[in-house]
């Protein structure tokens, strides 16, 4: 009975103690360019707008100045990942080179994200953009980058305007950040996890590589082995639930306009739950990502659904294995406690 009451309390807090405004900001940042692309008949470019819109996820509850700085930095990270992916796709690099490039991007972006104190922490969205775009990059790279950069700029403007209108009480404190050796160790973790997961993905078929690399990166952001394992479990469970939501969207062969509208709508609940319960957020994030990928590069949805489940599982296993390797000094343990005072998007915040 105690467990049932505790579960009900968690569910009530999950649904009621949520600030809808950050999700509305992110939604607005995608809805405006998204509707323009739909009207222009270029739903294939929506993937670039989506990655640009992730800029709005940064600076959740910060002062106007902090949010502006962090969102500008996040925009650079996301546009950089997108630009790298576009270059890799246009050059038609072999699969092993793609994996190596994403691993290098993750290793470079990780200490930069640490240095800048970004929240969400780590290079996940940037490296995800890099790998995903490399798999679908089309024949109009300049327009694609313009869509991404324009959407990111819009999100920065929306975020700054809202921060001025509704300033954070007293200014939100800047989060702690890894530095020095600790940051380099974390960068090495990203490089190893992404390389191994991507390498296995290439062995199984290049379609597996990107989601495997993304899955491997997910557990690394959490502090402590218990939270890393829990975050990995959330990634698997949330993705599998998201695949169940994705199937009715992709299997009937809906028109591109309908899929595009669904993508825009799905971003709102994704951001709504991202910092509260990662698995729930993935139930919306997974169909969003898969739908936009299908619009950019049409493929057999049955194959996509099957492969995304497989590569998520083995990617997470690799990520957890790398994350729990005991490369930990007293300084790193203290640093984790300082930079991760609470589990990051692993569950309902107590």
Could you tell me which residue, 266 or 181, shows the higher pLDDT? 266
176 is a domain residue: yes
67 close to 316: Cβ distance less than 8 angstroms:
no
Averaged pLDDT for residues 74-86: 96
Question: H-type helices in 137-223, by residue range?
Answer: 141-165, 180-204, 209-217
Top mean pLDDT of 165-169, 258-262, 329-333 is at 258-262
For residue 60, name the pLDDT band (cuts at 50, 70, 90). Answer: confident
8 is a domain residue: no
Instruction: Give kind and range of the element (H or E) at residue 305.
Output: helix 301-323
Structure-token pair, residue 230: 């829990």
Q: What is the pLDDT of residues 177-219, one digit of tens each?
A: 666 788 899 999 999 999 999 999 998 876 668 889 999 999 9
Report CA torsion sign: 141, 146, 147, 153.
positive
| Span of 81-85, 204-208, 222-226 with lowest mean pLDDT | 204-208
3 is a domain residue: no
259 is a domain residue: yes
E strand map for 193-280 = none
Q: Inform me whether the pLDDT recorded for 54 exceeds 70.
A: yes
Q: What is the pLDDT of residues 6-15, one digit of tens each?
A: 655 555 555 5
* Cα separation, 336 vs 219, whole angstroms: 14
Closest CA to 135 of 222, 201, 232, 60: 201
* pLDDT of the residue at 344: 43
184 is a domain residue: yes
Number of domains in the chain: 1
Averaged pLDDT for residues 125-147: 91
12 is a domain residue: no
145 close to 83: Cβ distance less than 8 angstroms:
yes
138 close to 44: Cβ distance less than 8 angstroms:
yes
347 is a domain residue: no
Contacts of 186 (CB under 8 A, 6+ apart): 110, 111, 114, 122, 178, 220
In which domain, by residue range, is 180 found?
18-339
* Cα separation, 198 vs 192, whole angstroms: 10
Q: What percent of the chain has pLDDT over 90?
A: 61
Averaged pLDDT for residues 161-184: 64
Q: What angle do CA 112, 174, 158 make, to 5 degrees?
A: 85
pTM to 2 decimal places: 0.86
* pLDDT of the residue at 205: 79
């Amino acid at each position: 009975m105690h467990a049932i009451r505790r579960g009900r309390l968690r569910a009530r807090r999950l649904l009621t103690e949520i600030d809808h405004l950050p999700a509305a900001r992110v939604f607005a940042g995608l809805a405006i360019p998204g509707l323009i692309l739909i009207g222009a008949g270029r739903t294939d470019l929506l993937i670039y707008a989506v990655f640009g819109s992730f800029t709005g996820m940064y600076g959740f509850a910060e002062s106007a100045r902090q949010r502006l700085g962090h969102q500008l930095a996040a925009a650079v990270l996301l546009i950089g990942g997108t630009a790298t992916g576009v270059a890799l796709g246009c050059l038609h690099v072999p699969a092993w080179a793609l994996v190596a490039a994403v691993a290098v991007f993750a290793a470079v972006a990780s200490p930069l994200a640490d240095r800048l104190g970004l929240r969400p922490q780590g290079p996940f969205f940037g490296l995800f953009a890099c790998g995903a775009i490399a798999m679908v990059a089309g024949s109009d790279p300049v327009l694609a980058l313009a869509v991404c950069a324009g959407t990111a700029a819009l999100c920065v403007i929306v975020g700054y305007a809202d921060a001025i209108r509704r300033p954070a009480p007293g200014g939100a404190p800047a989060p702690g950040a890894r530095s020095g050796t600790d940051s380099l160790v974390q960068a090495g973790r990203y490089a190893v996890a992404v390389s191994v997961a991507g390498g296995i993905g290439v062995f199984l078929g290049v379609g597996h590589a990107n989601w495997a690399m993304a899955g491997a990166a997910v557990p690394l952001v959490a502090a402590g082995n218990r939270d890393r394992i829990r975050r990995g479990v959330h990634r698997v469970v949330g993705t599998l639930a998201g695949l169940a939501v994705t199937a009715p969207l992709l299997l009937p062969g809906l028109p591109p306009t309908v899929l595009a509208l669904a993508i825009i709508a799905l971003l709102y609940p994704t951001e709504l739950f991202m910092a509260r319960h990662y698995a729930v957020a993935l139930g919306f994030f997974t169909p969003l990502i898969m739908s936009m990928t299908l619009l950019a590069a049409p493929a057999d949805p049955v194959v996509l659904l099957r492969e995304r489940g497989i590569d998520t599982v083995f990617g997470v296993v690799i990520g957890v294995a790398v994350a729990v390797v005991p490369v930990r000094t007293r300084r790193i343990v203290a640093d984790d406690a300082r930079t991760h005072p609470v589990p990051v998007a692993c569950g309902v915040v107590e």
